[in-house]
Amino acid sequence: MSDPCDGCGRAVEDALARAVQLQVDGSTVDDQRLCPTCFADWITRYEEQMSPKQSSDDSTDSEIIVD
Ligand SMILES: [Zn+2]
């Protein structure tokens, strides 16, 4: 049996299907069946969400304040 990919809607072989259960923003559980292409794309978006670009929240990356 083959279920459609939640990303692109194409039927994917079970060998290629992946059930994703990860917490997004610590609240939402994303449960999807994705083909490898959509899975990689989803992971990219997930990592972008989990790694904020703005470093204004107690970040020690760029600015060091010395009194
Ligand atoms: Zn897909």
Residue 2: DSSP 8-state: -
Query: How far away, in angstroms, is 38 Cα from ligand 1 center?
Result: 4
The rounded distance, in Å, linking the Cα atoms of 22 and 13 is: 22
**Closest C-alpha to 15, from 38, 35, 32, 30:** 35
Each residue's pLDDT tens digit, 30-67 = 667 788 888 888 888 888 888 876 655 555 556 666 67
pLDDT at 26: 57
Cα of 34 from ligand 1 centre, angstroms:
5
Domains of the chain, by residue range, sit at: 1-49
Helix or strand or coil: residue 36?
Answer: helix
Residue 43 parent element (H or E): helix 36-50
Of residues 48 and 21, which shows the higher confidence score?
A: 48
